[in-house]
């Protein structure tokens, strides 16, 4: 797994502990499991981050951080993955969630005229909230589960290849050593 890449991209644990908004967690951030990069911690963080990224609510990083602390999974990765839904990706992602919810409820998708205003947003949300929230929840749970399984599988494949490579190297050293004797 690209463990070194994760470690390079994710902020240092001291930086996170001293961050002004994360100080509210106090001693909870001193658990070393929150900063480990192992199969359990990373797969859990991916599942957590993907879930909260797809839940339509403000300040998604806070529940993601709380869940990471509670489940003792990688905190920085959990919080960073929430940013998969950002101001650029939110419209297509949440539209997809709405379409999934409409399909699940067997309701025709509502045609929306794009007029950005608070009045328009309130009117449209009053109409589409059921399929939108259902679709968001289903897509969040599904992507969370798929992300978890994908990381576990990729980590396992990487580990098997690493073991096979080490075994081949050991055999080559033995053959080379036998040949030189």
Q: What is the pLDDT of residues 138-161, one digit of tens each?
A: 999 999 999 999 999 999 999 999
User: What is the mean pLDDT of the segment spanning 92-113?
Assistant: 82
pTM: 0.76
Number of domains in the chain: 1
More confident: 29 or 102: 102
**Contact 105/130 with Cβ under 8 angstroms?**
yes
Q: Residue 140's pLDDT is what?
A: 94
Overall average pLDDT of the 38-46 stretch: 91
Residue 88 has pLDDT above 80, yes or no: yes
Residue 38, judged by CB atoms within 10 A of its CB (0-12, 13-18, 19+), counts as middle
Under 8 Å between Cβ of 42 and 57: no
Q: Which two tokens stand for residue 82?
A: 């929430």
| Structural domain of 120 | 3-180
Residues of the chain with pLDDT > 70: what percent? 76
């Amino acid at each position: 797994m690209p463990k070194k890449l994760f470690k390079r991209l994710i902020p240092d644990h001291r930086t996170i502990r001293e961050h002004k908004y994360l100080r509210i967690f106090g001693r909870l951030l001193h658990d070393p499991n929150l900063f480990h990069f192992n199969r359990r911690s990373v797969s859990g963080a991916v599942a957590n981050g993907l879930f909260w990224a797809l839940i339509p609510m403000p300040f998604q990083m806070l529940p993601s951080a709380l869940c990471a602390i509670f489940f003792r999974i990688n905190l920085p990765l959990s919080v960073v993955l929430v940013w998969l839904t950002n101001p650029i990706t939110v419209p297509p992602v949440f539209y997809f969630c709405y379409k999934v919810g409409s399909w699940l409820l067997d309701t025709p998708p509502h045609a929306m005229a794009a007029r950005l205003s608070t009045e328009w947003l309130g009117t449209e949300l009053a109409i589409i909230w059921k399929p939108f929230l259902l679709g968001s929840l289903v897509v969040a749970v599904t992507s969370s589960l798929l992300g978890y399984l994908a990381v576990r599988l990729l980590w396992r494949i990487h580990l098997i290849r690493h073991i096979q490579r080490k075994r081949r190297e050991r055999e080559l050293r033995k053959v080379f050593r036998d040949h030189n004797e």
